[in-house]
Amino acid sequence: MNPLGKVAIVTGASSGVGAETAVQLAELGASVVINYANTLAGAEETLRRVEAAGAKGVICQADVSDEAQCRHLVETAVAEFGGVDILVNNAGTTTYVPHKELNNLSDEIWERTLGTNLMGPFYMTRAVVPELIKRGGGEVVMTSSVAGLTSNGSSMAYCCSKAALNSMTRNLAKALGEHNIRVNAICPGLIDGRWAAEGWGEAWEDIKVLVEGQTPLSVIATPADVAQSLLSVITGTDVMTGQIITLDGGFTIN
């Protein structure tokens, strides 16, 4: 799909991968709905960058784990721009819990992680499908994780949420293909950004060095790299759907 003149919703767009994706879509001529859950200042900065790229943007607060708020987000896109062509399900959350510490993986952590990382993309996709059908089809892209392909991640709940998201991507692709709606996922490895740095805290620099040393390309992706990969799926062939694409510098082939 050529994003020029299209309308995109990007969830979790106040920072990191979501912000970079919104800006890259804007640079290609799309109007962008910038979603945030908590950080208005970050969303305002993303909007400034979108407008600086010469595109139209609008900010919409919504917690994607709440279906009513997801529907409001889609309704905002339709009210502001007349429809939707692209959905980037990027919003995510995690809590750092070592996998062996089963007793520290509370019900609240499970519910919050699955609510945002799994149910959120489902609610958003279900809400946007009628609008995509009106446009003759569209693109849905998930920001997943290699944590969904391996047993390595910030918590067992996070790994499970992303594994389920990968499965849901394939199921949605099968279910929605007849409407010319393509559904794919990008699975980044460790991302060199604020989210991971804050999560790992003082161990962050050591983690980066460790992962880079175990990666064939000796590099970890930046948020801009992941956004470029998401854009490559959106702007690439319209024949591709149901694909789970790894972006980790080769880390998982070792």
Is 80 exceeded by the pLDDT of residue 11?
Answer: yes
Pairing mode, strands 181-188 and 7-10:
unpaired
Q: For 112-142, write each residue's pLDDT tens digit.
A: 999 999 999 999 999 999 999 999 999 999 9
Q: What's residue 202's pLDDT? A: 81
Q: What's residue 75's pLDDT? A: 98
Angle formed by the axes of helices 107-114 and 156-176, to 10°? 30
Is 90 exceeded by the pLDDT of residue 213?
Answer: no
Is 90 exceeded by the pLDDT of residue 26?
Answer: yes
Beta bridge partners of 86: 8, 139
Q: For 82-111, write each residue's pLDDT tens digit.
A: 999 999 999 999 999 999 999 999 999 999
Is 90 exceeded by the pLDDT of residue 254?
Answer: no
Give the residue numbers annotated as catalytic, written as ranges: 158
Is 80 exceeded by the pLDDT of residue 160?
Answer: yes
- Fold entry, domain 7-194+222-238: Rossmann fold (3.40.50)
Q: What's residue 207's pLDDT? A: 82
d(CA 36, CA 41): 10
- Find, among 4, 17, 1, the residue nearest to 229 by Cα: 17
Q: What's residue 85's pLDDT? A: 98
Q: What's residue 200's pLDDT? A: 75
Pseudo-torsion of CA 121, 146, 240, 55, nearest 10°? 60
Average pLDDT (9-28) is 98
Q: What's residue 193's pLDDT? A: 79
d(CA 113, CA 18): 18
Would you kindly state where each structural domain of the chain is located, as residue ranges? 7-194+222-238
